[in-house]
Chains A and B, each alone.
Chain A
């Protein structure tokens, strides 16, 4: 009880901080310096229609690389965590197969979902969405597969290979930017093309696709690993 009260009191104080922030907040009437730059220059410099994508992939590409790495890390560590635990109980793997409905549904839906995912990340520089979103959609397809046929040992090897290769290419493209264009992760060593076209915005589609693949693979890996914990 004391704990609850003290937590409440503390949170009240935190709330007061937040309230002060809230009270002090005024929406900018105009875009600020940074945002204005992006709004004005993205089209010309980067050639991406989706400014957010331009920011995510290029201007703040290092963040995104980090982000991807976060997922990579999570997946790797998850593997580690669960691998350590699993050693002891290798044997028990008796499970009820999924229902007919699910299995059938999966067969129909999974390819479609995958396709949608690919579409989302390939068009990341043009429309809302992008590598992360697409990757997540791809992973949801994998989740479906997992649910439908949990007994089937999931192709960890394939996922890992995709993930690693995507990552390596991502870094390599970044370095290409450094070598051929203005800096690390500069997308402009490929032609920026015409605004709004699929093959435009330099390396952005390429990068976003790699991200999509990588994120998909990583999420899949995470899901696959987590699914192994189920029988606990």
Chain B
């Protein structure tokens, strides 16, 4: 159940993020919206790997190596989400830098101001 909840929240976050990104004309707001969507994605990824009643995939005293398969949740989504997060951070940073330069150029953060290229 908790997985469904997390997953639904994740999806909702994605939708909210998209809505924000697709309707806000301010570059910074768009970037923020995308980070929200990213968080949603990450949430969904983690939620997919969740298995009820199991523990984190770290072998220690409570989780012996021999018994691990029955005790731990799926470690793969966790590994993936790590990568996804870092990539998200990278992209966000890049977008911010772009936004900065765009602002510098036109003294505006309105996406509709940057339509020199079209058709």
B98 / chain A contacts, CB cutoff of 8 Å: 81
Q: List residues 3-37 of chain A with CB under 8 A from any CB of chain B.
A: 3-4, 7-8, 10-11, 14-15, 18-19, 21-22, 25, 27-28, 31-32, 34-36
A63 / chain B contacts, CB cutoff of 8 Å: 79-80, 83
Q: List residues 26-60 of chain A with CB under 8 A from any CB of chain B.
A: 27-28, 31-32, 34-36, 38-40, 42-44, 49-52, 55-56, 59-60
Q: Are A73 and B90 in contact (CB under 8 A)?
A: yes
Q: Are A35 and B103 in contact (CB under 8 A)?
A: no
Interface-located stretch among A163-171, A180-188, A221-229: A221-229
Cα distance A10–B57 in the bound complex, in angstroms = 39
A64 at interface, CB cutoff 8 A: yes
Count of interface residues, chain A, beta-carbon cutoff 8 Å: 62
Q: List residues 24-73 of chain B with CB under 8 A from any CB of chain A.
A: 48, 50-52, 56-60, 65, 68-69, 72
**Given that A39-B72, A51-B75, A64-B83 are contacting pairs, would A44 and B94 also be in contact in the complex, using a CB cutoff of 8 Å?**
no
Cα distance A60–B101 in the bound complex, in angstroms = 35
The interface residues of chain B, by DSSP majority, are classed as helix
B14 / chain A contacts, CB cutoff of 8 Å: 18
Q: List residues 60-96 of chain A with CB under 8 A from any CB of chain B.
A: 60, 63-64, 66-67, 70-71, 73-75, 77-78, 81-82, 84-85
Q: Per-residue 0/1 for B76-97: is the Cβ within 8 Å of any A Cβ (1 yes, 0 no)?
A: 1011101101110111011011
- Name 10 A/B residue pairs within 8 A (Cβ), A-sorted: A8-B19, A11-B18, A14-B15, A14-B18, A19-B11, A22-B8, A28-B74, A42-B65, A52-B79, A66-B83
Known: A52-B58, A73-B90. 16 other contacts (CB 8 A): A7-B18, A18-B11, A25-B7, A27-B51, A39-B57, A39-B75, A40-B68, A60-B79, A74-B89, A78-B97, A81-B98, A81-B100, A82-B101, A85-B100, A132-B82, A132-B86
